[in-house]
Structure 1
Amino acid sequence: MSRRHHFHIDYLGHSISATVQTGHAPVLEVLVDGKETGYATTKGDRPLTVAVELPNDPPTTVSVRATPGPGVPRCLLLATADGEPQVMAPRLY
């Protein structure tokens, strides 16, 4: 049975949201400022990483890393600027 989990963080003035759909083939969708900018799928509970660009001048590349399982999914924002991973907060929709 698949289930959708939502995560969010504000970074450098941009809204970054991630949706992790668990199940047989987990899916990660990433939105920046409400626009879909990244998508990945895998099998099992393997971590997924999606690189996206923030529309700054010049554009800033960051990555969202999701761990779909086992247990409750988790998401991290991996920013290249400071190198410190930031936990994306779960959101209930």
Structure 2
Amino acid sequence: MHMRHHFHIDHAGHSVSVTVETGRNPVVEVLVDGKEVAHETTAHDRPIVLPIELPTDPPTSAEVRTASGPGVPRCILHLPDGEQHVMSPRPY
């Protein structure tokens, strides 16, 4: 059975949203300011690291790290200076 889980964080004036669809082939989609910037399909419940770029001046490279299972997925925004932010789950 597959389910969709949504996560969100606002960082440096930008919106980062992640959708994790669990199931046979988990799918992770990342939006920055409403635009898709990363997408990956994987087999099984292995962790996924997706590089993204925040449109700051100059642009800021970052990573979204997801663990789709077992259990409830988790998402972390990882910044180049080592700072990490746990992304809040969204109920929709």
TM-score (ref. length: structure 2): 0.96
1:84 is matched with which residue?
83
1:49 is matched with which residue?
49
1:2 aligns with 2:13: no
**CA separation in 2, counterparts of 1:75 and 1:66?**
4
Query: How many residues matched?
Result: 92
% same residue: 61
**CA separation in 1, counterparts of 2:42 and 2:84?**
22
The runs of 5 or more residues in structure 2 that have no matched partner are none
For residues 6-42 of structure 1, give each alpha carbon's deviation from its aligned partner in whole angstroms, at most 9, with x where no partner exists.
0000111100000000001111100000110111121
Offset at residue 84 of structure 1 (A): 2.0
- Note the aligned Cα RMSD (angstroms): 0.7
**CA separation in 1, counterparts of 2:83 and 2:41?**
25
